[in-house]
Structure 1
Amino acid sequence: MHHEVTVEINAPRETVWALLEDVERWPEMTASIKRVERLTEGPFGEGSRARVHQPGLPAAVWTVTDFAPGRAFTWTARTPGVTTVASHDITSHPDGTVSVRLGLDQSGPLAFLVALLAGRRARRYVAMEAAGLKQKAELQQTK
């Protein structure tokens, strides 16, 4: 399964990036995430791990596999039969706004079954996360 959402945000890259990398505060932006627990100490970056709790889904441990400070990160969660990769990419525009692309890919022998059972929820959650990020970032700009 592959799914992605792109959202235009009227906020600078720094504001959006600060929200993206502060994964423990994601539940403040969206109802699609109940709790995030960092499992590694230190700054968020490649190799960082976090347990993400989402409504109606088993908790998953995500590991950052690619990290470009201020621009993008990708993390991966593995469960028996399925590998899920989530990407978070920021593109700056000359007017000071940004586009954020959130991607979700699932592969493995059970990926088709998971997509059938939970694909609609996964797509809804990615859309909720994009909308929540946009709202939070733009709200910070008005303060």
Structure 2
Amino acid sequence: MLFRTSIIIDAPPRRVWSVYTDLARWPEWTASVTAVTLVDPGSLHLSQRVRIKQPKLPPAVWTVTALDEGRSWTWVSTAPLVKTTATHTVEPHERGTLMSATLEQGGPLGRLIGKMAAGLTDRYLVMEAEGVKAASEGP
């Protein structure tokens, strides 16, 4: 099951990328994330593992599987019979930056879990996008 959101941000892509990839600070700008632990410290990098706690969901460890510096990254989290893949993209836009986030749930139970959590997943993606926008456009 695939979920997607996009938002236009009145800030240059470099600024948006800086905010979006400062993973430890996510709880400061989105209520969809309550805690972030960098299992592998440092700035965003390939194979980095990050533990994220979100309201109403069990903690999940995400592993960065693809990184196009300044443009996009993908990370994956697995649970029994479910694989969740999320991609975060920052692109130049005539009004600043187009930020997009997708989340795909696969595996034997992925579709079922995706349907059961669809409303929450959609809300969290929108909260994430709005949070990136506010933090990027702010001081």
Report TM bin, short chain: over 0.9
TM-score (norm. length: structure 1)? 0.93
Structure 1 residues 116 and 69, CA gap change in structure 2 (3 angstroms): same
Aligned residues: 139
Matching of residue 11 in structure 1 with residue 6 in structure 2: no
Report the counterpart of residue 101 of structure 1 in structure 2: 100
Report the counterpart of residue 91 of structure 2 in structure 1: 91
Report the counterpart of residue 138 of structure 1 in structure 2: 137
Alignment of 1:110-125 (within 5 A): 110-125=109-124
TM-score (norm. length: structure 2)? 0.96
Report the counterpart of residue 75 of structure 1 in structure 2: 75
Report the counterpart of residue 2 of structure 1 in structure 2: 2
Name segments (4+ residues, structure 1) moved above 3 Å. Answer: none
Structure 1 gaps, min length 5: none
- Other structure's SS at 2:138 match: helix
User: For the Cα contact (< 8 Å) 2:39–2:51, is it kept in 1?
Assistant: yes
Structure 2 gaps, min length 5: none
Percent of pairs with identical residues: 38
User: For the Cα contact (< 8 Å) 2:22–2:43, is it kept in 1?
Assistant: no
Structure 2: how far apart are the matches of 1:103 and 1:116? 15
Matching of residue 40 in structure 1 with residue 40 in structure 2: yes
Report the counterpart of residue 61 of structure 1 in structure 2: 61
- What is the CA distance between 1:94 and its match in structure 2? 4.7
Could you say what the CA RMSD is over the residues aligned between the two structures, in angstroms? 1.1
